[in-house]
Amino acid sequence: MKSLIMILKNMKTEKYHPIFYFEHPFTTAETKVTRYRSKGHHTNGFNNRDDAVNEVKNMSKQLDEQGYIVVQEIENDLVWDGIGVPSDNQLR
């Protein structure tokens, strides 16, 4: 199973949140696109982006040890207005 990890920036609090996704296949197997659903977005966040990146590395290691194929996409942040719950789907 695959896992995707990204960084979410809360524009309201200016904090950075590691956010991870797990592979969640479509109901039909005919598509060549992989769908990922977010999990773990209920964190306190980090004031410093570098601290969030370090947490991504820790999360990646833990998921790898659990047998996941981990993909990190941390070059660009996802932007969140800080309102509501930041659940998300990513297609790759």
Convert the pLDDT of each residue in 27-77 to its tens digit: 776 777 888 999 866 678 999 999 999 999 999 999 999 999 999 999 999
Helix (H, G, I), strand (E, B) or coil at 46: strand
Q: How far apart are CA 89 and CA 22, in angstroms?
A: 10
Q: How far apart are CA 45 and CA 54, in angstroms?
A: 12
Pairing of strands 35-39, 15-23: antiparallel
Give the pLDDT of residue 40: 66
Domain count for the chain, please give it.
1
Give the pLDDT of residue 68: 95
Give the pLDDT of residue 50: 97
Give the pLDDT of residue 41: 60
Q: Structural domain of residue 87, as residue ranges?
A: 2-91
Give the pLDDT of residue 92: 87
pTM for the whole structure: 0.84
